[in-house]
Amino acid sequence: MSTAVASQPSFDVAPALRIVGAQARATLLGYWRMPTFVIFSMALPVMFFLFFGLPYAHQTLPDGTSIGALIMGNLGAYAVSSILVFNVGIGRAQARGQKIDLLQRAMPLPGWVVIAADTIGAMVLALISLVVLFLFAAVAGGIHLSAEDWVTLSVRSLLGALPLLGLGLAIGYGSGPNAAPAVANLIYLPMSFASGIFIPLSSMPDFLQKLAPYLPTYHYAQVVQHGLAPSTAESLGTAILWLVVWGVILFAIAIQLYRADVARKFS
Amino acid sequence: METAVELIDAHKSYGSVEALRGVNVAIRRGELMAMLGPNGAGKTTAISLMLGLRKPSSGTARLFGLDPTDRRARSRSGVMLQESGINGALHVRELVDLFSAYYPHPMPVDRAIALAGLEEQARMQANKLSGGQRQRLYYALAVCGDPEVLFLDEPTVGMDVESRRSFLDSIRAFAAEGKTVVLTTHYLEEADELAERIVVVDRGLVIADASPAEIKAKVAGKRVVFDTDAPLTEDDFRGMPVNHLELRGGHVRLLSNQPEPVLGALFRRGVEIRNLEVVGADLEEAFLALTSHGDGAGAGQPAHVTEEVAG
């Protein structure tokens, strides 16, 4: 076999799809073996629903909106966005800290594969945590949606959070392994509180109510709530437009920080 | 014969630090080459250029005639780096599986694990491996793509004597299949034991490129230190196999491949010496002979003489 290889040097490369699949699988396995990741992204939303959702599960607003469904939708948004910001951001910062990127860089691996695999891994994890939360809310809280509404809610929860993937990547490439958790909390937690995911905006201080409509998490929450309540503060189109603009900004920052990281280490 | 790896007048600076100052090396397919040099000599930088991990400040790096960052070239090479990391939550087998997916024609995963001697650890999390086992895991990841050229940057660091021996055997077996191996080390014995060609790098330059036997003849093997009241000068050592000589008052320090005839000659002349010490030169000292001496040709002349006044 070795003589065949020596006489007929091949200039093949491995198919990119196979590489992405293997890399995404490895990312997911890595998450799965880290209990903190699983606890924060799966158990915490369920626990929040247990404390803050169940007591109101059967109440409705005057317009007929189920409060339980709204809280479930908000907590789903929290689950997905925290995976994209925390798991991707801290995970990438730690991978850089452990110099995992060094060996990857020497492999016959296109540069985008790692980011694509991170994205797929995070989205699969996000879908799992959504399903876990929705199942719990349906069984324990008696939340009823039509099959179509469940699917729409899941799709909106996953796609609407994509701009926050840019935030996660920016944190992952812009901060070190020790700073990343603090940076992620400092940026993301105030942002999600100010967007009415945990507490209705109407009970927030006046300046936060004024600030909220400029934050990506606010518009993400609007997209998620759109199917759950007959009326939301802004139209679906406006919310999506805001998210696209935020997505462009956050990904542009992430790309800049990625390039700076690569230039520092590999030029 | 086809050239597998090539650096042509390669320079590399990190800010104001010149890590490589014009290196020319061509490694033919099937060659087992060791790059030898003290820490900070530029070995890792040279390997980084060959792998395309770093770009030369000037000059060229080629891997199978292509730019080393080209995926087609990288698909034919495997690599073990110093201080690189892997996702430690994964099992040994899962990691080998992952790295195999990067290559177009990988070997069976079990074979890569067996080549690294990690059969018993295949289901262990990488985080739980010992230092030596971790090095062997990196070896499995380097060979799993069935590469034609293997780059090993200080591969035996952290290995005990036993695993080091079996590891060197694996490299020999790999090379015996007609494959190319580029290895860096700061152990002369390791380079000598393994390689058919040694490239000595020091302060960013190739200072020797020859067979192990030729290199060994050039570098000094022993350090001789003694005190004496006799008024010795460098002339007294002329014609002796001395590579490096320091005279500080009554304190004499020299490097030599053949310390016995040197001491014999001194004794015959009636030079009285005290506090005699003859020990194996460390690598830095062994290189002094090469670095200070260009060609390093003659054993007849003292290679270099430093005269300093004590105090």
**How high is the ipTM of this complex?**
0.87
How far apart, in whole angstroms, are the C-alpha atoms of residue B186 and residue A136?
60
**What are A150-166's pLDDT values in tens digits?**
999 999 999 999 999 99
Q: Higher pLDDT residue, A229 or B20?
A: B20
**What are B25-77's pLDDT values in tens digits?**
999 999 999 998 888 889 999 999 999 999 999 999 999 999 999 999 999 99
Question: Which tokens go with B60?
Answer: 């060229």
Domain ranges of chain A: 16-43+64-266
Give the pLDDT band of residue A2 (cuts 50, 70, 90).
very low
**What are B148-178's pLDDT values in tens digits?**
999 999 988 878 888 888 888 989 999 999 9
Q: Higher pLDDT residue, A123 or B255?
A: A123
- How distant is the Cα of B186 from the closest Cα of chain A, in angstroms? 22
Q: Higher pLDDT residue, B308 or A87?
A: A87
Nearest CB among A2, A14, A23 relative to B177 is that of A2
Neighbour count for residue B95 (Cβ, 10 Å): 22
The pLDDT of residue A122 is above 70 = yes
Q: Higher pLDDT residue, A51 or A37?
A: A51
Task: Find tokens 């004597």 and name the residue.
Answer: B161
How far apart, in whole angstroms, are the C-alpha atoms of residue B152 and residue B172?
13
Q: Tell me, what's the pLDDT at A102?
A: 92
How far apart, in whole angstroms, are the C-alpha atoms of residue B199 and residue B28?
13
Whether residue B45 contacts residue B20, with contact meaning beta carbons closer than 8 Å, is answered with yes
In the beta sheet, which residues pair with residue B80? B152
Burial B184-217 (b: 16+ CB within 10 A, else e): bbbbbebbbebbebbbbbbbbbbbbbeebeebbe
Question: Which tokens go with A263?
Answer: 């230039």
Q: Tell me, what's the pLDDT at B283?
A: 61
The three-point CA angle B178-B183-B189 to 5° equals: 105
Mutant choice from A99, A103, A265 vs B, greatest count of B C-beta within 10 A = A103
Give the pLDDT band of residue B179 (cuts 50, 70, 90).
very high
At CB < 8 Å, which residues of chain B contact A? 29-30, 51-55, 64, 71-72, 74-76, 79, 81, 83-90, 94-95, 97-99, 101-105, 125, 138, 141, 145-146, 148, 177-179
Contact B85 A23 (CB under 8 A): no
- How distant is the Cα of B168 from the closest Cα of chain A, in angstroms? 20
How far apart, in whole angstroms, are the C-alpha atoms of residue B199 and residue B191?
10
Instruction: Report the relative pairing of strands B273-280 and B222-228 from DSSP bridges.
Output: antiparallel
Task: Find tokens 């060979």 and name the residue.
Answer: B143
Above pLDDT 70, what percent of chain A? 96
Rounded to the nearest integer, the mean pLDDT of chain A is 89
Least confident span in A17-26, A154-163, B1-10, B158-167? B158-167
At CB < 8 Å, which residues of chain A contact B? 2-3, 5-6, 9-14, 18-19, 21-23, 25-26, 29-30, 33-34, 95, 98-100, 102-103, 105-110, 266-267
Task: State which H helix or E strand residue B22 sits in.
Answer: strand B17-28
Q: Tell me, what's the pLDDT at B286?
A: 67
> Could you tell me the sign of the dihedral formed by the alpha carbons of A46, A48, A49, A50, in that order?
positive
Above pLDDT 70, what percent of chain B? 90
Give the pLDDT band of residue A258 (cuts 50, 70, 90).
very high
Mean pLDDT of B68-97: 93
Least confident span in A55-64, A161-170, B131-140? A55-64
Give the pLDDT band of residue B295 (cuts 50, 70, 90).
very low
In the beta sheet, which residues pair with residue B152? B80, B183
Q: Tell me, what's the pLDDT at B301?
A: 38
Nearest CB among B52, B72, B87 relative to A30 is that of B87
Whether residue B155 contacts residue B80, with contact meaning beta carbons closer than 8 Å, is answered with yes
Alpha helices per DSSP H over chain B: 43-51, 71-74, 92-101, 109-115, 131-143, 161-176, 188-194, 212-218, 259-268, 283-291
